[in-house]
Chains A and B, each alone.
Chain A
Amino acid sequence: MSPLLASVGAETETAFTMPSINYYAIAPILILFGAAVVSVLVEAFVPQRGRRPVQLVIVVGSIVAALAVTIDLRGTRLVTGEGAIAVDGPTLLMWGALLVIGLLGALLMAERSIDPLGDAFAPRASALPGSEDEQEFTRRGFLQTEVWPFLLFALTGMLVFVASNDLLVMFVALEVMSLPLYLLAGMARRRRLLSQEAALKYFLLGAFSSAFFLYGAAMLYGFSGSVSLVAISDTLSAKTGEGSLVAIGIALLMVGLLFKVAAVPFHQWTPDVYQGAPTPVTGFMAATVKIAAFGALLRVLYVSLGGLRWDWEPMLWIIAALTMLVGSVVAITQTDIKRMLAYSSIAQAGFILVGVVAASPQGLASALFYLVAYAFTTIGTFAVITMVRDASGEATHLSKWAGLGKKSPVVAAVFSLFMLSLAGIPLTSGFVGKFGVFAAAIDSGNTWLVIVGVVASVIAAFFYVRVIVLMYFSDPTPDTASVVIPSAFTTIALTASAVMTIALGVFPQWLLDIITQAGVFIR
């Protein structure tokens, strides 16, 4: 039917043309979006008591369904929605990763046994911190079930973000993904002021970066007369002479995207937000936003700006080097484990950028592997942090982790595994990932960047291993936190991420094969 309509549209040019959309190819997006809408309706019509189980069924069910469709779509390479959405190998791979990590994040958010007061979220986010209302809501055991539609909307935005093939759709997706995350960051049950401050900062700076993105997109539109990535690329190769408009457009677009991946100097929101947000949200956000933002960045660079790689590579070299070094160096003096991991995530973004600037199919593959490996390790890391607690809630100060290895050997061992993976020690996924990006960079001639990366890795190893030393080689003090036994939700998420961290370190080949089959971005 649609080819017929398209041909009719070609004859009468003024008439509105029904866009040709392959609905099955974008079914994962539609499923999550539909589920998110239903989830909002549940908040409106289902009584307070019944909401949580219904929401959980919707969230888990829709993610699993979207995942099933994604798997069924494997091998698909097409552009649909009149060139707005590209469903290709990298898209499907990142959809799969986002959905699995999203599911693990949902499990962490669903945890209710760790905090004696309830889950990780404020009973009513609207209540003033420390007010009588708040105490009343807590006493009555209210739960803020709005987190579930937020989660689904954010995931929907991410799926669109990595698949969007024009700048306008990409911008809309960026906002759909970001706005729910700003809210989620501000809904912590404990230390609410810190959480709200984090949310506000995240929102302000996020809006600021979105403006940069939008401005850059406008510049590129002004230059090429189109927002389509492919059309911009074609214009760039046709009109080679003209300079500054393109340069400014690319630069501003990059700023918007580099903000989301937390690259230096656009990284400063990261520690504050990671620390203030409820830990399950931090874990979810740290893992998924990294995938989504790098997915979009890679697509813009490879599809639209591939012909200009000599122009943007020097800028990204410097940003990658700075990101690795600043993240690693500043992490050394952190005393709060969530802040330390925030700087760690900045440094990790630098390592992934090393793969990105390789600007080769190998670089793309290595960055994708790194993203998947990093996402699993990260969500596991934050899962452990939710469990290490004292009377006032999570014990995030590093001094309270002293001697934890003696009090809770299993949890400490799992956390050590994640730290070793983040440090890139062999037999963990982090090593394979780091090796991949460095190898790709050397093949592209960026040896000096690899040297900087290795130096940064050495610095980073210090603070990762320091946590292990603290846990195992110090004696427990009265201040040492204890590990709370979680319910099946957290246990499943933690086990899955630990298993994947080892599996991708010891047998990485299956994922490498999948990535190789995924190939490159469609044009």
Chain B
Amino acid sequence: MTELMPAEGVFSLIWLLIALPLAGAAVLLVGGRRTNAWGPLLGVLTVSASAVLGIVMLLQMMQNSPEQRTFDQTLFSWVFVGGFQADMAFQLDQLSMVFVLLITIVGALIHVYSLGYMSHDRDKRKFFGYLNLFVAAMLILVLANNYLLLYVGWEGVGLASYLLIGFWQHKPSAAAAAKKAFVINRIGDVGMSLAIMLMFVTFGTVSFQGVFGVADQASEGTLNAIGLLLLLAACGKSAQFPLQAWLLDAMEGPTPVSALIHAATMVTAGVYLIARSNAIFDVATVAATTVVVVGVVTVFIGAIIGSAKDDIKKSLAGSTMSQIGYMIAAAGLGPIGYVFAIFHLLTHGVFKAGLFLGAGSVMHGMNDNVDMRRYGALRKVMIVTYVTFAAGWLSIMGIPPFSGFFSKDEIIHAAFEQSVLTGVLLIIGAGVTGFYMTRMFIMTFLGKARWEDDVHPHESPKVMTVPLVLLAIGSLFLGMALLYWGNIETWLEPVVGYEAGESPISTTASIALSLLAVGLGVLVAYLMYQRRAVPIEAPHGSWLTRAARNELYGNEVNDVLVVQPTYYTSRWLVWFDNKGVDGFVNGSAAFVGGLSGRMRRYQTGFARSYALSMVGGAVLVVLALVLVRAS
């Protein structure tokens, strides 16, 4: 059993992890244009300081025995109404520790990269302010010790995401994308708030300790309801089916944003939520099974979309969706899967950030063109980007010894332990991953140059390539380091639980199968895009390609199922409001006004008529009393 340790020593500074980027955001956003010169640097410094603090805490935490690694810091009683209590309190344990490190270290690297990427933007301090705000909100999300405070962070990252997707708001497409992300996320947030209310009604508390301590005493129906509501929340934030449609449009934001928020950190919040709520999902079997189904479906949706898109960022976004599908599926597997969901989340956070920043570096050299059909042969002119991108490519495909190999194969193996079907589907998904990533790699860096006339590709400056190199090193070694040196299973086990299951096939066999599938995918991509020339105009393609280009008609489905009904309901309500409600209100206002105008005429100004009305009133009062008394 884990003990709750008081936050002493370095852990008394848990609040500072959040306060640093929050202060940075406050200074940058309140300070306005005058902070343009030094503001970006302040943004980098605050996040870096949090990262250093996080590393110090990690080292300190490793000194303690595994049962004594949960630290609790209560700042003050935040909401205390009737029986409802929520504290402004943080909980740092092994799970939140790895998230803190992911958020602050990757966050710091992306801040540094942004110094170069955004150097010419006139609103760059605003950009860094929003980024700092995001980091602070994300840290609140993972450090909260109760669901209500988690919800604050949850909404905070949603806000930051909205602001950053729409950062170039002068582009109508960016403004629309921001709005779309916000609206779809609201649907998930409804699930979150309902889940919190249901927890309070059921358990009388919303703190992690309180809920998890008594979770198994509630009825399974209630727990399934809570689990499904939490899943709805996770689907919104992590772009899982059926709330996946916003992520592709979110690529309208600056590329560092796509890397930090829409690849490495925020979109994985759903995985965190499910892993954190493991006590609920362990008992809520229906909800857990639904989680697996949603994850597997999204693996394919994302992969298929990623295979057809010619926009490098949208292709990567499809890939992100797909990879998070793996994590969600793993989290749905229960105690055999949680640790690997988190493991893949960490490795994915690093290599996908590297891939996005690599894409950003390419766009930087290609006049911000995102069409891969106008790339090609960039390996010669962008050598650092090329090599680091290759590291990400090999890692996401799961080629040993790159990071993705270890984490993805653990998930596939765990899936086999629960059901052969899930395992097979995930292996097929790995094959598709091999296809679309190779396609992207070939179209961008290999083959013949298909550049537009006025484009002169060049390598990006050091401030951008150094983070790329660091993330590439992470893509290469992080998997090994976490598995063999960090013992990720035993590290996370006290928080999320871990038990190895019985697999119908051996580890070697599942590795071999998935490598075979990836190899097939790579081969097909090689044949299609390396052996044949890539046309500049996209060919008509098969029905599947066309469907995938249209994002599998997710927008159309949303339109028919949600948007049109809402639109017509709202039109009807407006009509009803104009005719019915306003008619009633204006009618009664006119009635009262008319009545008032009539009644004031009785105020004649003559004392005699006043006296008369007094007499009349007195007579009525006397009559009333006499009658009441007589009856």
CB atoms of B625 and A265 under 8 A apart: no
Instruction: Name B610-625 residues within 8 Å CB distance of A.
Output: 610-611, 613-614, 616-618, 620-622, 624-625
CB atoms of A255 and B621 under 8 A apart: yes
Which of A250, A266, A333 neighbours the largest number of chain B CB atoms within 10 Å of its CB?
A333
CB atoms of B616 and A265 under 8 A apart: yes
In the complex, A209 has a CB within 8 A of chain B: yes
Kindly list chain B residues whose C-beta atoms are within 8 Å of the C-beta of A269: 610
Instruction: Name A456-487 residues within 8 Å CB distance of B.
Output: 459, 462
In the complex, A208 has a CB within 8 A of chain B: yes
In the complex, A271 has a CB within 8 A of chain B: yes
A231-273: contact bitstring with B at CB < 8 Å (1 yes, 0 no)? 0000000000001101110111011000100001110110110
Q: Which residue of B is nearest A308, CB measured?
A: B629
CB atoms of B610 and A332 under 8 A apart: no
Instruction: Name B586-631 residues within 8 Å CB distance of A.
Output: 589, 592-593, 595-597, 599-600, 602-603, 605, 607, 609-611, 613-614, 616-618, 620-622, 624-626, 628-630
Q: Which residue of A is nearest B625, CB measured?
A: A247
A459 and B599 CA atoms in complex are apart in Å by: 15
Q: Which residue of B is nearest A244, CB measured?
A: B626
CB of A307, distance to nearest CB on chain B (Å): 13
CB atoms of B617 and A248 under 8 A apart: no
CB atoms of A314 and B618 under 8 A apart: no
Decide: A268 near B596, CB < 8 A? Known: A248-B625, A248-B626, A312-B625. no
Kindly list chain A residues whose C-beta atoms are within 8 Å of the C-beta of B609: 268
Decide: A243 near B621, CB < 8 A? Known: A205-B607, A266-B614, A330-B599. no
CB atoms of A329 and B596 under 8 A apart: yes
Residue in B593, B614, B630 whose beta carbon sits within 8 Å of that of A243 in the complex: B630
Residue in A248, A254, A459 whose beta carbon sits within 8 Å of that of B592 in the complex: A459
Kindly list chain A residues whose C-beta atoms are within 8 Å of the C-beta of B625: 247-248, 250-251, 311-312, 315
Kindly list chain B residues whose C-beta atoms are within 8 Å of the C-beta of A264: 617
CB atoms of A268 and B603 under 8 A apart: yes
Residue in B593, B599, B602, B629 whose beta carbon sits within 8 Å of that of A311 in the complex: B629
Kindly list chain B residues whose C-beta atoms are within 8 Å of the C-beta of A331: 596
CB atoms of A333 and B600 under 8 A apart: yes
In the complex, A397 has a CB within 8 A of chain B: no
Tell me what chain A mostly uses at the interface: helix, strand, loop, or mixed.
helix
Decide: A268 near B592, CB < 8 A? Known: A243-B629, A251-B622, A330-B603. no
Residue in A200, A265, A330 whose beta carbon sits within 8 Å of that of B600 in the complex: A330
CB atoms of B622 and A208 under 8 A apart: no
A255 and B622 CA atoms in complex are apart in Å by: 9
A183 and B316 CA atoms in complex are apart in Å by: 88
CB of B613, distance to nearest CB on chain A (Å): 5
CB atoms of A244 and B629 under 8 A apart: yes
A251 and B625 CA atoms in complex are apart in Å by: 7
CB atoms of A208 and B603 under 8 A apart: no
Kindly list chain A residues whose C-beta atoms are within 8 Å of the C-beta of B595: 329
Q: Which residue of B is nearest A326, CB measured?
A: B599
Kindly list chain B residues whose C-beta atoms are within 8 Å of the C-beta of A265: 613-614, 616-617, 620
In the complex, A57 has a CB within 8 A of chain B: no
In the complex, A318 has a CB within 8 A of chain B: yes
In the complex, A294 has a CB within 8 A of chain B: no
Residue in A200, A201, A333 whose beta carbon sits within 8 Å of that of B596 in the complex: A333
CB atoms of B629 and A333 under 8 A apart: no
Decide: A247 near B622, CB < 8 A? Known: A268-B603, A329-B595, A459-B592. yes
CB atoms of B613 and A268 under 8 A apart: yes
CB atoms of A247 and B617 under 8 A apart: no
Decide: A255 near B618, CB < 8 A? Known: A201-B607, A265-B613, A268-B603. yes
A201 and B592 CA atoms in complex are apart in Å by: 29
CB of A236, distance to nearest CB on chain B (Å): 11
Instruction: Name A259-318 residues within 8 Å CB distance of B.
Output: 259, 264-266, 268-269, 271-272, 310-312, 314-315, 318
Residue in B593, B613, B614, B629 whose beta carbon sits within 8 Å of that of A209 in the complex: B614
Residue in A201, A209, A254, A272 whose beta carbon sits within 8 Å of that of B621 in the complex: A254
A329 and B597 CA atoms in complex are apart in Å by: 9
Considering only CB atoms and an 8 Å cut-off, how many residues of chain B contact the other chain? 29
Instruction: Name B502-554 residues within 8 Å CB distance of A.
Output: none
Decide: A315 near B603, CB < 8 A? Known: A208-B614, A209-B614, A333-B596. no
In the complex, A148 has a CB within 8 A of chain B: no
Decide: A243 near B596, CB < 8 A? Known: A200-B607, A205-B610. no
CB atoms of A266 and B617 under 8 A apart: yes
A319 and B618 CA atoms in complex are apart in Å by: 11
Instruction: Name A328-356 residues within 8 Å CB distance of B.
Output: 329-334
CB atoms of B611 and A315 under 8 A apart: no
CB of A91, distance to nearest CB on chain B (Å): 27
CB atoms of B614 and A205 under 8 A apart: yes
CB of A218, distance to nearest CB on chain B (Å): 14
CB atoms of A332 and B596 under 8 A apart: yes
Residue in A204, A212, A314 whose beta carbon sits within 8 Å of that of B628 in the complex: A314
Decide: A247 near B626, CB < 8 A? Known: A205-B610, A212-B618, A265-B614. yes
Q: Which residue of A is nearest B622, CB measured?
A: A251
A176 and B628 CA atoms in complex are apart in Å by: 34
CB atoms of A251 and B610 under 8 A apart: no
Kindly list chain A residues whose C-beta atoms are within 8 Å of the C-beta of B597: 333
CB atoms of A315 and B624 under 8 A apart: yes
A264 and B616 CA atoms in complex are apart in Å by: 11
CB atoms of B616 and A252 under 8 A apart: no
CB of B618, distance to nearest CB on chain A (Å): 5
Decide: A247 near B629, CB < 8 A? Known: A329-B596, A332-B592. yes
Residue in B603, B624, B626, B629 whose beta carbon sits within 8 Å of that of A271 in the complex: B603
CB atoms of B629 and A315 under 8 A apart: no
Decide: A329 near B628, CB < 8 A? Known: A269-B610, A459-B592. no
CB of B228, distance to nearest CB on chain A (Å): 37
A271 and B599 CA atoms in complex are apart in Å by: 14
Kindly list chain A residues whose C-beta atoms are within 8 Å of the C-beta of B611: 204-205, 208
CB atoms of B603 and A251 under 8 A apart: no
A123 and B593 CA atoms in complex are apart in Å by: 41
A209 and B613 CA atoms in complex are apart in Å by: 12
A209 and B610 CA atoms in complex are apart in Å by: 11
CB of A160, distance to nearest CB on chain B (Å): 25
Q: Which residue of A is nearest B589, CB measured?
A: A462
Q: Which residue of A is nearest B602, CB measured?
A: A268
A314 and B621 CA atoms in complex are apart in Å by: 10
Kindly list chain B residues whose C-beta atoms are within 8 Å of the C-beta of A201: 607, 610
A333 and B592 CA atoms in complex are apart in Å by: 10
CB atoms of B603 and A259 under 8 A apart: no
CB atoms of B618 and A252 under 8 A apart: yes
A250 and B626 CA atoms in complex are apart in Å by: 10
Which of A201, A208, A265, A326 neighbours the largest number of chain B CB atoms within 10 Å of its CB?
A265
A265 and B624 CA atoms in complex are apart in Å by: 14
Kindly list chain B residues whose C-beta atoms are within 8 Å of the C-beta of A319: 621
A201 and B628 CA atoms in complex are apart in Å by: 33
Kindly list chain A residues whose C-beta atoms are within 8 Å of the C-beta of B600: 330, 333-334
Q: Which residue of B is nearest A246, CB measured?
A: B629
Q: Which residue of A is nearest B627, CB measured?
A: A247
CB atoms of A315 and B592 under 8 A apart: no
Kindly list chain A residues whose C-beta atoms are within 8 Å of the C-beta of B617: 255, 264-266
CB of B585, distance to nearest CB on chain A (Å): 10
A265 and B589 CA atoms in complex are apart in Å by: 24
CB atoms of B607 and A204 under 8 A apart: yes
CB atoms of B621 and A315 under 8 A apart: yes
Q: Can you list 8 A-B contacts (CB < 8 A)?
A: A201-B607, A244-B630, A247-B628, A251-B621, A268-B614, A329-B596, A333-B597, A462-B589
Interface residues of A (CB under 8 A from B): 200-201, 204-205, 208-209, 212, 243-244, 246-248, 250-252, 254-255, 259, 264-266, 268-269, 271-272, 310-312, 314-315, 318-319, 326, 329-334, 459, 462
Given contacts A248-B622, A251-B626, A333-B593, could you give 7 more A-B pairs where the C-beta distance is less than 8 Å? A200-B607, A244-B626, A268-B610, A311-B628, A311-B629, A326-B599, A334-B600
| Pairs of residues from A and B, 6 with the lowest C-beta to C-beta distance, nearest first | A265-B617, A247-B625, A268-B610, A251-B622, A332-B596, A333-B596
